[in-house]
Amino acid sequence: MTSHVIPSYLSGDALGPWGVFLQQIDRVTPYLGELAFWIESLKRPKRILIVDVPIKMDDGSVAHFEGYRVQHNTSRGPGKGGVRFHQGVTLSEVMALAGWMTIKNAAIGVPFGGAKGGVRVDTRGLSLAELERVTRRYTSEIGFLIGPDKDIPAPDVNTNERVMAWMMDTYSVNQGRTSTGVVTGKPISLGGSLGRHDATGRGVFVVGQAAALKQGVSIPGARVCVQGFGNVGAIAARCFADAGAKVTTVQDVSGTIHNPRGLDVRKLIEMQLAGQHIVEYRDADRITDDEFWSVESEFLVPAALEQQITAANAGRIRTRILLEGANGPTTPEADDILNANGVLVVPDVLANAGGVTVSYFEWVQDFSSYFWSEEEINKRLDRIMGDAFAAISETAEREKVTLRTATYIVACKRVLAARQLRGLYP
């Protein structure tokens, strides 16, 4: 007897990011032909692990944090996806992020499946020693699930090279041998790759160039608005500024600044590295966070967290090209509004794929113990991102669909073809 009962935690009803992912899968199903037979495999993560992460705090007390690792699909290769430390992490969020990694990896053609991890913790309240204990305990708890040929974590929100070094060391100690390939985004001295730090933001700019050519938008002089000035947003902003664009508006957790003549992006990055907030930048006006969405631009780059653009604010957005630097920043309802208003949306699963592309390069380099120059890495990244945009743009024109739907068509067909060829065992 065949059962199609959906477990409650997989339902899209009122479950935030995972519900958004399920809607995106439903929208692409009619375009998959006979491969739609396997669509349920994309609606059910392969593995979900929830772990307790107890650590001793500096004051001698014991604190417990909840951690997750979700492997969404491994039909095309080992799981691949970042680990985020954030007080707002939920299972729904991690499930959706893992699903988006499946789509992203397939869309750009790297041989990975989709995975994601997270710990619900406010890192602002942790000392460096406490952060290390959280990282090492979390790594130990998920250690049996990860590995260079099983599931490879990487940095994400509030995690970085240092955290990846701790993860790699913890896994290696528990395995009894050094295993540099268990994570990517590591320091260069521990097997990290040149170009990895800038890769996601650079990738956003590369597909932005391709989208600009398609839309007839000139980058020199173009106005750019960036939400989120972390690694992705700041690097994308720098790339646009270096190409002659004017970054007029930037928003981060401290607030929103605006100057129609353009902001000094490198100065903002220097301030950030010095521990200052962007609102301390003097040559700009302070506007409200809500006003950010109404600023006119040629490029809008949401590079913060998911579900920032909704039906409530999408109608006020006045831009030509929206480049999703963050994962899942736009809800399906907002997508429809933006499309109706003539905004070209380059989806997250394509626009921010530069990071996982260079993570793939790092993984390959670790296996071979042969490392490439940054120039070679950037050339390979630019080619892969450019080719992916061209193929997806062609699909969008042929099927008369948005770039998001086209990306899902390309990716889902690749994943489900692998699922069909592999069959079911036992």
**CA–CA dist 6, 111 (Å, integer):** 29
Torsion of CA 356, 122, 323, 258, to 10 degrees: -140
Set 43, 80, 104, 116: catalytic member: 116
Euclidean distance between CA atoms 255 and 245, whole angstroms: 22
Name all contacts of 5-10 with Cβ < 8 Å and 24+ positions apart: 6/43, 9/48, 9/91, 10/43, 10/44, 10/45
- Asked whether 201 and 191 are in contact (CB, 8 A), the reply is no
Q: How many CA atoms lie within 13 A of 347 on its CB side?
A: 31
Q: Whole-angstrom Cα distance, residue 221 to residue 224?
A: 9
Residues paired with 256 in a beta bridge:
251, 287
DSSP β-ladder status, 285-287 and 255-258: antiparallel
Is there a catalytic annotation at residue 116? yes
DSSP string, 149-206: TTEEEEE-TT--HHHHHHHHHHHHHHHTS--GGG-SS--GGGT--TTTTTHHHHHHHH
The DSSP output letter for 267 is H
Rounded to 5°, the CA angle 353-334-24 comes to 55
Degrees to nearest 5, angle at CA 393 with 389 and 396: 145
66 DSSP assignment:
E
Q: Is the distance from CB of 154 to CB of 356 less than 8 angstroms?
A: yes
Residues that are catalytic: 116
